[in-house]
A and B are shown apart, each in its own frame.
Chain A
Amino acid sequence: MSMQEDHTGGSTEKLVAEAKEALRYRHPSRIQKVGDHMRREWQLYLLLAPTIIWLLVFLYTPMYGLQIAFKDYSIFRGVANSPWIGLEHFHTLFGSDQFIRALKNTIYISLLSLAFGFPVPILLALMFNEVLNQTFKKTAQTIVYLPHFISSVIIAGIVITAFSPSAGIVNTILEWFGVDPIYFLTKAEWFRPIFVGTTIWQEAGFQSIVYLAAIAGVSPTLYESAVVDGASRWQMMWKITVPSIMPTIIIMLIIRIGNMLEVSFEMIILLYQPATYSTADVVNTFIYRQGLQGGQYDLAAAAGLFNAVVAFVLVMTANTVSKRYSRTSLW
């Protein structure tokens, strides 16, 4: 609002201003309103603009580019001018053994990670909660969080070194028991245990933070009255702590299911090789090989679109379930 310099006295000035306001807002159209607002608050939009423009340029333009999943894409014609071919790429994908295998592997690896990876951080948090020596607890936490911050290249490097047939520690130990060296990373049957184990090793500590926070929120009076009743620590853990953090556990489970297809494929790219494709190749590594390495952009984009749509549906379903079940939703 512009304040006008006026010397005719306070009350008149006020009246004039009010009248102006009243006139202006008698029948303000939506456009006028927005225009006025923009003039007053332009600074806010200037602050917002870079982020929105960035999103449009780097994330929403590729969504427009997704149409090549339905086109016979050629680099020279570009996204918009390549001819439409309907669902042909999807027919090709679902007729391809490689894609079906990648899909199965994705689901299988996700389920394995869920079954083994989900409980570990919860158990870890419960165990940390029972440690009374604060120095021990702090030190242990500092160490188990660390692998989360180490890059996948380094983690893969450690895995490759540790499992190497000639110098690796794993084979050295097996040798003590008279087992012949195994070249683990070339054996298809070993890929999944190694991969799932590695991701649990890397992330379980860090993921326990959420549960530790939930445990910290449990009312101490519950424990105090349990102590009075003579409960053991074991009983308190299962009868007080676990039920109290159940909502957090359920939410984390739902998030986890929602992100099922997000197998950490960067790690897979680093660890797999043609000999282990049969168990290791997931949808994202398939896209990487077909699209970025093989140049079949349109087919790979179709596989990506399929993946993204399924993921989107999973997240949305997870959220709805969460809303109904725990009255807590992600958004």
Chain B
Amino acid sequence: MAKMNLYSRGDKAFVILNMVLIGMFTISALYPFIYIASLSMSSGFEARAGNVLLTPVGFTLEAYSRVLSEPMFWISYKNTFIYTIGGTLMSLAFIIPGAYALSRPQLYGRRFWNLMVAFTMWFHAGMIPFFLNMRDLNLLDSYFGIIIGFAVSGFNIILLRNFFEGIPQSFEEAARMDGANEFQVLWKVYMPLSKPAIATVALFCIVSRWNGFFWAMILLQDEGKIPLQVYLRHVIMELSDDEEFASTLINAAYSFETVSAAIIVCSIIPILLIYPFLQKYFNKGILLGGVKE
């Protein structure tokens, strides 16, 4: 990057214009979140009238108390935690050993195994055969089905495999001399050296689990098992037509809009909490696995 000590007048104008444009883009990225947050804390009447623009109007937390008093909110929140934690651990339990084995030069048929992983990134059977397969495996409507059914992704395996391949052989020699077997070499040498890559993969898993809704919506019929995103979709897409909910709106300090906004805020908070960690690792992750297979 160029370090500028000398500016011409044109350069100054350019730099300032650039700052303004970046600023505008940044505000456009941030504004919707501020808008939703303000909406969630405004009175239902003001929200309905479209008076909320930047800050809360007619400040009230009624929408939150409505959301938090809903049992389904807590059930789906709990389920999302189960799917996120269970799913991430399950993914790592498959991906770490798999990627390690695929990175070993002495693995017989290594090209074939690698191709078998990579092929799933270029070609997939599509949603119908996948769904029918899950049904045949009796994994509909089950926690375990969601957790195991999406455990492995070719992208994550290849990302981690590339990282393992980049670790010089010399690191494991001492352990080999001491008679360490493959499990010990992986556990004591490779895993400690790969913490950033493993953290990257784990964070990818956490985000995709937390945000995943499509397959949960398809595979889970039992309301008691649905994750937050599916519940959220129900609230946002269908609540406006729900007569029972509409009947509670009369004389209430909340409205359909403020309740939707409040629930959106509640579901974003955990992502915001891990966002600093995400930021630390995703740059690395995208470059590790992004362009090169």
Binding site for B on A (CB under 8 A): 34, 37-38, 41, 43-45, 47-48, 50-52, 54-55, 57-59, 61-63, 65-66, 68, 78-79, 124, 127-133, 136, 139-140, 142-147, 149-154, 156-158, 160-162, 164, 166-169, 171-172, 175, 201, 205, 209-210, 213, 215-216, 220, 223-224, 226-227, 232-234, 236, 248, 251, 255, 266, 269-270, 284, 287-288, 291-292, 297, 300-301, 304-305, 307-308, 311-312, 315-316, 330-331
Contact = CB atoms under 8 A, between A and B. Distances in A.
B101 A153 contact: no
B287 interface: yes
Q: How large is the interface on B (under 10, 10 to 19, 20 to 34, 35 or more residues)?
A: 35 or more
Contacts, number: 278
Contact of B19 (A131, A210, A316): A131
A301 B126 contact: yes
Contacts of A152: 211, 213
Interface string B128-142: 111111001100000
Nearest to B50: A172
Pairs of residues from A and B, 5 with the lowest C-beta to C-beta distance, nearest first: A304-B126, A51-B98, A151-B211, A48-B101, A223-B2
Given A55-B120, A127-B22, A232-B14, 15 more contacts: A51-B97, A57-B137, A58-B148, A59-B120, A63-B129, A65-B133, A149-B275, A158-B35, A169-B52, A172-B50, A233-B4, A269-B214, A270-B233, A287-B128, A301-B128
A255 B291 CA distance: 9
Contact of A232 (B8, B30, B123, B282): B8
Contacts of A161: 35-36, 39, 257, 260-261
Nearest to A216: B1
A13 B23 CA distance: 77
B22 to A, nearest CB: 5
Contacts of B117: 51, 55
A166 B46 CA distance: 11
B50 A168 contact: yes
Given A55-B116, A167-B257, A140 B22 contact: yes
17 contacts: A41-B107, A50-B94, A52-B116, A127-B21, A146-B30, A153-B233, A158-B32, A169-B35, A233-B2, A236-B2, A284-B127, A287-B127, A292-B128, A292-B131, A308-B124, A311-B123, A312-B122
Interface string B14-53: 1100110111011011101101100100000001111111
Interface in B260-288: 260-261, 264, 267-268, 271, 275, 278-279, 282-283, 286-287
Contacts of A316: 122
Contacts of A171: 50
A2 to B, nearest CB: 14
Contacts of A133: 19
A158 B257 CA distance: 10
